[in-house]
Structure 1
Amino acid sequence: MKASQYFSMSLFLLILLISCPWLISANPHLNNFLGCLDSFYSNDIFKVIYTQNNASYSSVLNATIQNLRFSTPTTPKPLVIVTPLQTSHIQATIRCSRTNGLNLRIRSGGHDFEGLSYVSQVPFVVLDLTNFRSVKIDVKNKVAWVQSGAILGEFYSEIAKRSRTLAFPAGICHTVGVGGYLSGGGYGLLLRKYGLAVDNVIDAVFIDVNGRILKRKSMGEDLFWAIRGGGGGSFGVVLSWKVKLVSVPSTVTVFTIRKTLEENATNLVHQWQSVGHKLPGDIFSAVTMRKVNRNGKPTILVAFSSFFLGETNALITLMKARFPELGLKKEHCTEMSWIESILYFGQIQNKSIDVLLDRSYKSPLNAPWFKTKLDYVKNPIPKAGFEKIWSKLYEEDAETAAMAFIAYGGKMAEIPESATPFPHRDGNLYHIAYTVGWDGEENTKSQRYMNWIRKFYSFMTPFVSKSPRGAYVNYRDDDIGTNKKKGETSYAKASVWGRKYFKNNFEKLIYIKTKVDPHNFFKHEQSIPVSV
């Protein structure tokens, strides 16, 4: 190193430590990382660095942690959190993490179900994209550019400000970060009309392992394919996404009809399996199930919910023709705008749509501590199967459990498995999401709840997809397999979980990963491995 470089680094560290004394650390990984930033030094770099000695470190780390299973005194913490304000900060973080052998975790909204965007078992840095949250809407051309650190609610709000008849086919949990959501696929109320969120991505701005800034044309079609559903944290950092906005009527209709077992719920849900996936694409159809107490006795409450791109009368006519047994009536239905339907299905009551801008809002859809799993169903579950399912939901440790069936078909059946890394398309009647959740007062029972959902998942094996048993990367589940702690793994080991998420697309993802990140810098417990 030349004398001028030594002087430059020393000056950088001196300024850094004088300006931010909380950065002083005995940890050589951290000190070397900070020293590396010399080559990217700018006056505002101090604003984006948080070490464990900083008074704001914990609040920054915890701000978007959505599952408190990964926010305990024993949970590994990052050496430093970087909240970049400009692209050069991201390039510096990649370069300096790589140079100093630090694992890099990329966080946009903190909703990773296994905490992989902010937890690692080896020394690591969190790159938190919270400041990259710009949303630009082009109503005339029906497109938008949205940065990865924006949450879905911010994106939806910007759309709604400009049009009542444009939308984006994404999810109902408004605090989910756009970056992680699009990286894994993304389903929502419009999946049967317009497919997944990633089916509507048309360009992206991406930073690779070498710090190059690429767009669709310069990254090439293979990498552009991989980042649209191949899972976050494997290929690089997506800064922003260009997406197609989709048309919706100014008025949509929603309904929820609840039935207990004593009100013929078993027969209705059994029949729904043959109806839901055949409905027109204008309808989103879901069924949820959980144990409740009615008149002092336990039963199963089954809720049939739908979202319809049209008015009430048209929906009633359609449902009378397709599913008359449900008994849909006008009083069950509510007309509203698309943006209001996000609040309805997000179970947000007595709030204006401004709540969608609240990044700290805790969704009632998930408990503070939770475990979730997901399956795909290709053949209807028999009535006898439902009787067995009900008996499992009656178990004591299932007191906080719930199941949700989401109908496929429509546009989902028209898109080829290989169109994006997400392969679960034609042939799936619906998917099942299983969730068990608890709050702090019940934390002593956490292992019982975890054991229950794992046993229940095993019990469901005869009823769901096989060879492989499908899974969804945005419903990340480390029970189905992981890489080694440092990210290196064998093809055989990675294939166990990789084929469940991606089926035959896993091979192509490995090929692309090996080409764009051959030394496997971007890695975590379920990242795409390189070929050996």
Structure 2
Amino acid sequence: MQAQPIKVDKNGARYEALRRGFNQRWIAAPDYVVVATSKEDVATTLGTFLGNSSNATRRITVRSGGHCYEDFVCSSDVGVIIDVSQMNRVYFDASMDAYCVEAGATNWQATTQLYRASGRALPGGSCYSVGSGGHISGGGYGLLSRQFGLTVDYLYAVEVVTVADGKTPKVTVARKDSEDPALRDLWWAHTGGGGGNFGVITRYWFRGLPEPPAQVLLRSVAWKWEELQARPDLFKSLVRRYGQFFEHEQAGTLPHNMRAYTFRDMFTLLKLTHVSAGKVGLIVQLDGTRTDSPARLKAFLDYITEGFTTGSHTYVGETVLDRQMGEHSAQRESFIPTLLPWLTATQTLNESGPNRCGKYKSAYHTKAFTDEQIDAIHRHLTTGTYSNPDALLQVDSYGGAVNDTASDATAVPQRSSVLKLQYQAYWSWDKDADSNAVYDYRDAEKDPTIAERHLNWIRTFYEDVYHTTGGVPTVAAPTSPASTSPASTSAHTDGCYVNYPDTDLDDPVHNTSGQSAHRLYYKENYTRLQRTKQRWDPHNVFRHAQSIRLPGKNPGGSGAAASKTGE
């Protein structure tokens, strides 16, 4: 007799922890949470939920790492949450001739188990506790991606519990080389289509995984806002030249003194914090097995900080990155260029930050920032009407091997960008609104103004940067972009990242571009995703606020969503 799935109901001590994820803005009240340990647990739970007519208007959702930025997993209409975090094995599957990563494995589990056993790695994110289920299905990326591409560029097969008839769960394995075109579509949909759309993901298989460099060179550096405020032209120059470096690197037009170098192995994170944080930061990782890496690192830093020092006078000096910036903690030890084994360095940079409330927005840029965009960035990071050291714009280097893949080879269509942006604002409950002598989520429910000032800041910031394209980073039309979408091309933008979901994209108050979230996330790939949805989930069992829509239909019926998260 098959064991029944583990249920934690409202009377269980674990319920409070299991009904929420990393983002403390979103707290669900499901009837119970199922801690699944097998695909059979998932199928049984789905069948029970769908067989109960009282669940017709409620959703059943799925959590792996719990890092969904919006309320796709935890919301008021959730009846049951399936937690797959115990399904976390990582191993070589001889029957598939591929490496298997179960959906509940975190980035850190996948990293350590793959590397220690085989010397290979997924080019995934640096947030250790993010779950593979959402990270991979959305097209996850990380510090190895410029050198090796995205996680989904290596995806060979996926195991999904589907419910094509709306009531009978079926364990379905879809391969890149499946004979059935519908199965190939299902595989393809999981190479960037995002979680919560087609079924419950239980396992992934990968072929051809790369071997990361044995050692990497790390450098972290910061610059004081006090000095940058005295010379706003140098702050703007830093942002401009940072973008220009990767634009020229992609085009092969770097200055002649750097053309002897290649930089595809270099990944950088520029932390443009709000002025109240005191410092702006930068983290750089390069292949440490190359003898020219120290010289390449110096050349890059000299390029982006041109003018910081003139003759014997230093206007803006380097200092230690000695404080939390976004999801990364202080990086004091790597102020001096530091050579570390790749796995050790990955552990050093593996951060999730503290549990708190957050709001996020994203953008792809195909070229460097425009002057208007730079002015807007400076304006909102130095505003005196808002103060929050945990608010920032993180600008990741992009391109390289990511852009070697065609835009329709996977569901990730953004294959020509050089920068990937994440706008971030974090906060905690700093007001005892319900007068019970403690801070918790009930204070935010009692007083919406706790979150309001943070939401207003990040929304206004984002909409100002992209004001020429309707408040969002629009994509150009597929034909004659110069004539049909001049605003998109002049802004150098290419949409948004589905693993950094943002429901404001579907709000006409915040998005006046005429391009929906689906257009911004998927571009021309959306039609194939809809076709896959029609074949594998025609009853819209798996849905959330921004899930793939059935062709010609509005969302409805029982539903489920899976966690989405990114780098």
- Which TM-score band applies after superposition, normalised by the shorter structure? 0.7 to 0.9
Q: In structure 2, the residue corresponding to 1:114 is in which secondary structure?
A: coil
* 1:304 pairs with 2:282: yes
Q: Which residue of 1 aligns with 2:88?
A: 133
Q: Which residue of 2 aligns with 1:436?
A: 425
* 1:81 pairs with 2:33: yes
* 1:501 pairs with 2:456: no
* 1:52 pairs with 2:14: no
Asked whether the equivalents of residues 170 and 186 of structure 1 are also in contact (C-alpha less than 8 Å), the reply is yes
CA distance in 2, matches of 1:388, 1:371: 19
Q: Which residue of 2 aligns with 1:113?
A: 69
CA-to-partner distance for each residue in 1:440-461, whole Å, 9 max, x for gaps?
2266632111111111111110
> How big is the shift at 1:166?
2.5
Matches within 5 A, 1:284-363: 284-292=267-275, 301-311=279-289, 313-320=291-298, 324-326=302-304, 332-346=336-350, 363=352
Matches within 5 A, 1:163-202: 163=118, 165-202=119-156
Matches within 5 A, 1:381-530: 381-383=369-371, 385-395=373-383, 396-399=385-388, 400-426=390-416, 428-441=417-430, 445-462=450-467, 465-467=473-475, 470-481=495-506, 496-530=516-550
The CA RMSD over aligned residues, in Å, is 3.0
> How big is the shift at 1:183?
1.2
> How big is the shift at 1:401?
1.2
> How big is the shift at 1:417?
1.1
Of the structure 1 ranges 127-136 and 205-214, higher mean CA displacement relative to structure 2 is found in 205-214
Q: Which residue of 2 aligns with 1:256?
A: 220
CA-to-partner distance for each residue in 1:250-302, whole Å, 9 max, x for gaps?
11111122224258443233112121251532111221111346xxxx86x33
> How big is the shift at 1:530?
1.0
CA distance in 1, matches of 2:303, 2:39: 56
When the two structures are superposed, what TM-score results if normalisation uses the length of structure 1? Answer: 0.78
Asked whether the equivalents of residues 403 and 432 of structure 1 are also in contact (C-alpha less than 8 Å), the reply is yes
Asked whether the equivalents of residues 481 and 494 of structure 1 are also in contact (C-alpha less than 8 Å), the reply is no
Match of 2:159 among 188, 205, 208: 205
| Structure 2 portions without partners, runs of 5+ | 250-261, 307-317, 319-333, 432-443, 477-493, 508-512, 553-567
> How big is the shift at 1:176?
0.4
CA distance in 2, matches of 1:89, 1:142: 26
CA-to-partner distance for each residue in 1:480-507, whole Å, 9 max, x for gaps?
128xxxxxxxxxx997211111011111
CA distance in 1, matches of 2:138, 2:78: 25
C-alpha spacing 1:380/1:462, structure 2 compared with 1 (3 Å): farther
Match of 1:269 among 239, 247, 250: 239
| Structure 1 portions without partners, runs of 5+ | 1-41, 348-362, 483-492
When the two structures are superposed, what TM-score results if normalisation uses the length of structure 2? Answer: 0.73
C-alpha spacing 1:205/1:385, structure 2 compared with 1 (3 Å): closer
Q: What letter matches 1:378 in structure 2?
A: T
C-alpha spacing 1:55/1:339, structure 2 compared with 1 (3 Å): same
> How big is the shift at 1:223?
0.8
Asked whether the equivalents of residues 206 and 213 of structure 1 are also in contact (C-alpha less than 8 Å), the reply is yes
CA distance in 2, matches of 1:271, 1:478: 32
**Hey, which of these two has a bigger chunk of helix by percent?**
1
Q: What letter matches 2:36 in structure 1?
A: P
Q: In structure 1, the residue corresponding to 2:540 is in which secondary structure?
A: coil
Match of 1:282 among 265, 270, 288: 265
CA distance in 2, matches of 1:232, 1:334: 37
> How big is the shift at 1:308?
0.8
Q: What letter matches 1:250 in structure 2?
A: A
CA distance in 1, matches of 2:97, 2:51: 42
Q: Which residue of 1 aligns with 2:203?
A: 240
Matches within 5 A, 1:1-16: none
CA distance in 2, matches of 1:388, 1:68: 29
Match of 1:378 among 366, 371, 382: 366
Sequence identity (%): 27
C-alpha spacing 1:520/1:138, structure 2 compared with 1 (3 Å): closer
Of the structure 1 ranges 213-222 and 430-439, higher mean CA displacement relative to structure 2 is found in 213-222
CA-to-partner distance for each residue in 1:39-85, whole Å, 9 max, x for gaps?
xxx5631x5122223343223324xx1011113xxxx4111211223
CA distance in 1, matches of 2:223, 2:366: 25
Q: What letter matches 2:395 in structure 1?
A: F
CA distance in 2, matches of 1:84, 1:60: 12
C-alpha spacing 1:382/1:518, structure 2 compared with 1 (3 Å): closer
Asked whether the equivalents of residues 206 and 238 of structure 1 are also in contact (C-alpha less than 8 Å), the reply is yes
Asked whether the equivalents of residues 367 and 437 of structure 1 are also in contact (C-alpha less than 8 Å), the reply is no
C-alpha spacing 1:268/1:451, structure 2 compared with 1 (3 Å): closer
Asked whether the equivalents of residues 36 and 83 of structure 2 are also in contact (C-alpha less than 8 Å), the reply is yes
